[in-house]
Structure 1
């Protein structure tokens, strides 16, 4: 966006360019990134791959092919590669040289016989590179191409074990797998013609193993790594049912030539005492070591990640837990989400949440050199990705977001923590949205116990401290999650603030980034301590923030936040709000037995439905539905298999039968989230019109923006024959 928006609206949010993390080249002069934009005028999406000149902060177009994705550098020069999907289900590996950005010519290095993504490369020699991509494999190990698959004449699906369905799809015989090959620079035999890269045939590294990686539904490049020494990856234990277990392992496949002539069996690394989920496997720059993250508890997806080092990949069974402690809890009370190596292999970089921010830390990779806790390198915003700024430097290229900036790139010298050099901001620090950091602050208030609860405060851009603004109280999902100082295109506090609200986003019991004990304390307490924290937050706002009008308060939440809206509706706090909004929330706790990942309710509610029935019923919102009387908007999507659509319908039925002003919005083609821009615009329009109506603010759009509202036929004469 180059023109400043007069007001930050849902249209501005949803049509703003969405920029990927930046990938610097070896010399540190250029950075690759992809960007997508959506136009509500043409109702179409535009995709580009661009290259940023780091010195000038100017970017140049590499390709605007909408089917291009996953740009990466090849080696130390200016050659790049990306994937191009085809209508026949095949994928082309495209190569180009960016030495002259005014004349970019690309060519095909090879065609892959199916859809793939998440490409990674590693140098084998001066003219050869290992390549790895992710695709779905058929039961016999072949790359699955849905365009070539035989058409079924019936639609029935038969299952004999869990999963039946996961997130937003029904399970099929196909499974994720990592395919590898070689990209070789071939000498040209044509006069005045340049040498070109050629892709070899790909080999399924997991064929016949029964192992699936990346782990669905969200695993990608964070679940595998590629080196000249082989492939490292994480995968769920194939001997455990994935619907009721999170148990996973680190695996290593030592590969020398990447020709596919022979693929060794994956070596499974079992870390004694750790039986939980794994992520972020990364091989050291010299290919001799590896590091990954693993949780301790099986069945608990929000346990603390431990940093596990493999000092010698030729003997991967020897592991070291960094930052371990005698009590087993770990010396560092943070849970890193990613880990990576410095260029020289002497330092590990960890990204972890800390007090509602996504912070970068450093830690010596040699256990003998660790003298204390990880060193904090950033202090604000949320780091989304890091990379070496160049091959010859210790500096880091950092991709980040904040509550007012949807993408900014910085350079950081780890020897100078906090001193980030801004390279590029997609929104000019929020200015193109009409936003500024001055709108953002935070508060701490007493919680249900001997602790304080943190919350972000986002004010309108035209805020006047002498005026009072209605409260928009936003409750996050998870429940083991947090409102962070980061950008969101689904729940963006600034969109609500620009309607005329003071937006406050508390992080009650169960929230991440305030220590593992605080996270764990929500187990068997879904409607207990978190609810009390939220009540106390409301009281603190009422008594201490003179510019907030709690007599015109509204509350909104999704997922666990949607559960909390339903719980609040049946409890005294529900009478403090003029209106509520539940997005994909729990209505009946017993119905969570129809969810996909059953380990989640089993853990959080203390056991199975049949063994812990009283505990499940204790925090059941439907149990208090006789108290429901606050106007309430219910949103639930039909492809949400985490929380089935019946949850939303049941809540709406109760409201309607009780005569409570209510509305129901559903999207047949969306899952737990609303991802399609046109659907998201309707979501925002309906939500903002609903809360504005009860908070005494003007409607966002008259007549719900023209979206169809289905009203019942109340009179027989309305029927037309």
Structure 2
């Protein structure tokens, strides 16, 4: 499943939204700001807040997924922390001792990122950017903190490093960096001075998400780290980076795919590089099709030679590709691809390609027979190469599944077997060491922003937690006891919703309702941490939060997701009506006479739709964040394939009726509910004119309203 089309919600926007509700609806006294004494070390005491606030959410340390070393004894990760005192973010690279659960700081130098193990269990490689936009490749050791050196300097910003140990003296690396039109490394400092900001376009797309499209493109650069002869004082020689080669030069391909592609768009083996890229012959504004490609690499003592990118796929599967992963022996590629071009939320199919024969690509669990009605978001390999590890949404959670790889073409694969319980959200999965059957999981949930655990695939019990960043939510002032869920009858099917209560909840009191509508619309509220729309922010201001997953949501079967097509204001709206009735009739601790509804992106569209329909009258206030006001203004959006799919086809090709049927602008005569409108300049899928139009109507109708914008976000 491609990422949901939630609005590009800035952290400041969410903080301001929460602050607005805090001061205008539930005024309370001052609260303690949580200031941890350390970012993750369990041996140091931390100050526990009385209440979880927007400031605490934004200043809480954020850990990346962790990566174990080759012997499974340590895991490396990054921590970023924002300070409200200095108004700056700091970054650290830390190592977790898996046996003891203790943490060690490797470096907190400015600009560090992307740590990777170099292969012997203690050597690390990471990136460090400087003020000139250059990037250093730094080598250090987990057992010799502070003893590091620069193995290479790239005179441009690079990121997303992946590596593969070739032998005791050589390591192959791949990084992503911008390339000029002719394939050379893009260095901003070499640009000639411009005397005009004019840009001329002859085809779509002109701009994408939050920036205008420029001639430079993402590219993958391959190089070799060669260990030099050791100095007399050294036991091992230092690595030195050789030439970086753009393996996409002259191909017309771009990878990682913008705007959000990263390490999940390519992989490296001893023999080559696998990656996904958009079809260069199709316009990216009106097509989602992308394919898997493979470049074979022959490394010799003199250097490396590269093949032209070779395309792999299966006829009839023509949608977006993602999550390419090469098998441990480097001979087989596993990747995900959707069937329908133009539909970014189609079901991901699981494909395997024998890299020696492009025509042999096969689909596992051919999906049209309904064998397994889940859409995996990522695929990986077990350490022995005999099974695939799939992460997929499942009824408001994200779970890990194991799928055995067929031994031959005649074998019929069994259905994926769930390895984790139906709770929390799996962010990343890695083998616990090169040959270990155990798995290392990075995860989160609605009250804990980072959890590292060990999973025995043969054990049906829960994974063993070895590190919780917030101690099961307690260091944030939260508790799992605040979370529950409900099911109610929707327009066609049962609908699931998460419920979050205040931490000081008392059953003999009644609480106002915060009714949250997610974006996408093909997305979901999951048991997952977020620094964007975090239900705990609202719960801790005294609300009972109900976050439903109506028609169109992901993780409840592909037919449930698909049902929103040409039904934006119909089935999901009725689900939300039914949910509100259920709350009123069954949750006696909720005061539905004091209710607010909030949503961003499609959720913002739904706020505008509700304004013109009966459900909107049930709320004291609505909050519309980057929502659609006029469906026809979606013609100004960057990704035209999205409205073309969801609204039945291009507006100009005879589909005006289906676009106009669900247009909130047609119902402004019915608007009456007070509203906060948040709309920022740099969301090019939802131009700011949409938010201004909403606010203008509200003001002209003398409806109590406020408009919040961040012009540079």
Match of 1:265 in 2: 308
Higher relative contact order (CA 8 A, sep 6+): 2
* Structure 1 residue 44: Cα displacement: 1.4
- The alignment partner of 2:665 has SS state of helix
Contact persistence 1:631–1:662 (CA under 8 A): yes
Q: Does 1:408 align with 2:451?
A: yes
- The alignment partner of 2:576 has SS state of helix
Contact persistence 1:444–1:453 (CA under 8 A): yes
1:197-596 mapped onto 2 (5 Å cutoff): 197-257=239-299, 261-310=304-353, 312-324=354-366, 328=368, 330-366=370-406, 370-379=412-421, 380-449=423-492, 451-596=493-638
* Structure 1 residue 445: Cα displacement: 0.1
Match of 2:226 in 1: 184
* Structure 1 residue 307: Cα displacement: 0.3
Contact persistence 1:129–1:183 (CA under 8 A): yes
1:4-28 deviation digits (Å, cap 9, x = unpaired): 1111000100000010001110111
Match of 1:152 in 2: 194
Contact persistence 1:413–1:419 (CA under 8 A): no
Aligned residues between the structures:
664
Structure 1: how far apart are the matches of 2:83 and 2:310?
Answer: 48
- The alignment partner of 2:634 has SS state of helix
1:60-139 mapped onto 2 (5 Å cutoff): 60-100=104-144, 103-139=145-181
Distance 1:227 1:540, change over 3 A: same
Contact persistence 2:276–2:321 (CA under 8 A): yes
Structure 2: how far apart are the matches of 1:23 and 1:348?
Answer: 18
Structure 2: how far apart are the matches of 1:169 and 1:329?
Answer: 41
Structure 2: how far apart are the matches of 1:445 and 1:229?
Answer: 53
Q: Does 1:669 align with 2:709?
A: no
- The alignment partner of 1:623 has SS state of helix
- The alignment partner of 2:121 has SS state of coil
Structure 2: how far apart are the matches of 1:8 and 1:189?
Answer: 53
Structure 1: how far apart are the matches of 2:369 and 2:109?
Answer: 49
Greater Cα offset, 56-65 or 261-270:
261-270
CA RMSD after TM alignment: 1.2
- The alignment partner of 2:360 has SS state of coil
- The alignment partner of 1:105 has SS state of strand
Gaps spanning 5+ residues in structure 1: where? 671-721
> Which of 620, 631, 650 is the matching residue for 1:608?
650
Structure 1: how far apart are the matches of 2:278 and 2:369?
Answer: 23
Distance 1:371 1:279, change over 3 A: closer
* Structure 1 residue 89: Cα displacement: 1.9
Structure 1: how far apart are the matches of 2:189 and 2:437?
Answer: 46
Gaps spanning 5+ residues in structure 2: where? 1-35, 37-45
Match of 2:76 in 1: 32
1:619-630 mapped onto 2 (5 Å cutoff): 619-630=662-673
Contact persistence 2:597–2:622 (CA under 8 A): yes
1:269-322 deviation digits (Å, cap 9, x = unpaired): 131110000000000011111100000000000000000011x21113211100
Contact persistence 1:481–1:512 (CA under 8 A): yes
Structure 2: how far apart are the matches of 1:619 and 1:74?
Answer: 55
Match of 1:710 in 2: none
> Which of 204, 210, 223 is the matching residue for 1:162?
204
Structure 1: how far apart are the matches of 2:73 and 2:231?
Answer: 32
**TM-score normalised by length of structure 1:** 0.91
Structure 1: how far apart are the matches of 2:170 and 2:305?
Answer: 18
Structure 2: how far apart are the matches of 1:509 and 1:663?
Answer: 30
